[in-house]
Amino acid sequence: MYKGPTLATANHHFTVSLNIQLHLITEQILNIRFNRFYGMLRTGKIIIGIFLVSLCGSLHAQISPPGLGDANTAFWSAFGVRRQLDSLGKKQALSYIALGRKSSADNYNLVSKQAIIVLNHEVYHSFAPNQQYSYAVSYRRQPKYESSAPYEKEATEQEFRIYGRYAYTFKLGKKWKLKNTVRQEFRKFFDADFRQAEENFQLRTRIKSQLTYNLSPKNNQKLALSAEGLFSTSYLNEQEQKWTPFGYREMRIGAYYMFSIPHSPFSVDIGYVNDLIRGSRSVKKGGVHYLAVDVIWNLPL
């Protein structure tokens, strides 16, 4: 039945007003939660905070921690949102924010110092059976510390990164998979004020193999072992600008346990990574030892 223009207009204004109020309330809640989470990190409660978050959360593939520099131990935590981009499930996007902390050279407190903050967005496309490519953009902010005691902060480096990745997966029976990945990166560096850094930009190639075992279909439990070699060349901002020789820089070895939280859209992975940095002080002690925890919110199309 036709109600007349007055009633229709009133309903329209009511709907718009309600949507605005809901948007403002949601924004306030998100701001409050973010501020509380950030404050928790600042007060050194990062492990407790990530543990509580992980009680709600799962993951299809872990977010690998970046290099956090020379240290004895380190802690990496990431929260991401994975979205399906098509009805066939062949395209998806993963956006995440991550924080890293690390020890000083004279202790093993893995949350002693701020190491990095990362914002990353990557799009994946499974274009053929067992084959996938992806491309991504990333921003990173990383403090630099003195190499001698008391190891105080001396500078901050900013990095903008773009990269592409190609992966081929071999199915080894019903429970085993071997995924081989080649990733090419372009990294551009700035100091804290967006002036030139000592290193202008870098080209880096990463080659990784990961063996995954489907532990149990219950909660999609998996175990993964990986090894990744990193090779790079850099263009330096010196009086005589030049390229460094292309060569091996790091080896990262990882072990992960991955699972899904029942009746929720979340997934979690918990892992250990050993970062062997060529020529570093830490490599003489067996490398930098990481504890890594990632939480992913998986959204449907």
pLDDT tens, position by position, 183-224 = 999 999 999 999 999 999 999 999 999 999 999 999 999 999
- The pLDDT tens digits of the residues spanning 77-111 come to 999 999 999 999 899 999 999 999 999 988 999 99
Token pair 């690390």 is found at 102
Give the chain's domains with CATH numbers: 44-299 (2.40.128)
157's tokens? 């480096």
- E strand spans, 29-90: 73-84
101 neighbors 111 (Cβ within 8 angstroms) = yes
pLDDT at 29 over 70: no
Give the other-Cβ count within 10 Å of 218's Cβ: 9
What residues form DSSP beta bridges with 222? Answer: 214, 258
SS3 category, 3 = coil
Residue 93: count other Cβ atoms within 10 Å of its Cβ.
16
pTM of full prediction above 0.95 = no
C-alpha 42/C-alpha 58 separation (Å) is 25
- pLDDT tens for 265-277 read 999 999 999 999 9
Helix (H) or strand (E) holding 5: helix 5-42
Smallest CA-to-CA distance from 47 within 92, 84, 101, 89 is with 101
Give the phi and the psi of residue 240 in degrees, each rounded to 5.
Answer: -110, 95
